[in-house]
Chain A
Amino acid sequence: MYILGISALYHDSAAALICDGEIIAAAQEERFTRVKHDLSIPRKAVRYCLKEAEISVNELEAVVFYDNPILTLDRFLHNLAAAGEDTQDLLEASFEELFSKKIWIHKLLKSRLKLPEQTKILVCEHHISHGASAFYPSPYEDAAIITMDGVGEWATTTIGYGNKNEVKIIQQINYPHSIGLLYSAFTYFCGFKVNSGDYKLMGLAPYGKPVYYDLIKKYLIDIKADGSYRLNLDYFDFQYGRAMTNDKFAELFGGSRREPESVITRREMDMASSVQKVIDEVLILTAKTARTITGAKNLVMAGGVALNCVANGKLLKEKIFDHIWIQPASGDAGGALGCALYAYYHYYGNERVRLHKSDSQRGSYLGPAYTDEEIREYLEYNGYKYHQYENIDEFYKMVADMICEEKVIGLFQGRMEFGPRALGNRSIIGDASSEKMQSLINLKIKYRESFRPFAPSVLAEDLHSYFDLSSEDSPYMLLCADVREEIKKPFDLDALFEQTNLDMLPIVNTPRSTIPAVTHVDYSARIQTVSEERNPDYYRMIKKLKEVTGKSVIINTSFNVRGEPIVCTPEDAYLCFMRTQMDVLILNHFVLLKEEQVPLVEEKDWRIQYELD
Chain B
Amino acid sequence: MNWTNENREKEQDLLRRWAENRSDRFPGIEQEETSYFIEKDSDERYIMDYTFDTLPELQKLFDKILADDIEEEVKMICGVAALKRSDILDQNNRMNIVEHRYMF
Contact = CB atoms under 8 A, between A and B. Distances in A.
B75 to A, nearest CB: 9
B35 A193 contact: no
Given A77-B66, A85-B20, A194-B101, A99 B94 contact: no
Nearest to A64: B47
Contacts, number: 214
A537 B52 CA distance: 49
Contact of A70 (B25, B66, B90): B66
Contacts of A171: 37-40
Contact of A81 (B19, B35, B46, B99): B19
B48 A170 contact: no
For the complex, would chain B's binding face be called helix, strand, loop or mixed by DSSP majority? loop
A305 to B, nearest CB: 13
Nearest to A73: B78
B29 A123 contact: no
Interface in A53-94: 64-65, 68-75, 77-78, 80-85, 87-88, 91, 93-94
Interface in A141-165: 150-151, 158-159
A502 interface: no
Given A77-B70, A244-B102, A347 B33 contact: no
B86 interface: yes
B102 A196 contact: no
A69 B95 CA distance: 17
Interface in A1-27: 9-11
A343 B47 CA distance: 7
29 contacts: A39-B95, A70-B66, A77-B15, A77-B78, A81-B22, A81-B23, A88-B16, A91-B12, A101-B95, A103-B82, A105-B50, A107-B89, A111-B89, A122-B48, A125-B47, A128-B46, A150-B104, A168-B40, A168-B43, A169-B40, A171-B40, A173-B38, A177-B36, A195-B98, A196-B99, A230-B28, A232-B28, A243-B101, A244-B101
Given A81-B23, A82-B26, 20 more contacts: A68-B45, A73-B62, A74-B65, A77-B74, A81-B24, A88-B16, A93-B101, A103-B58, A107-B89, A122-B49, A128-B47, A173-B37, A174-B38, A184-B102, A195-B98, A224-B36, A226-B37, A233-B28, A244-B102, A346-B46
Interface of B: 11-12, 15-16, 18-20, 22-31, 33-40, 43, 45-52, 58, 61-62, 64-67, 70, 74, 78, 81-82, 84-86, 88-90, 92, 94-104
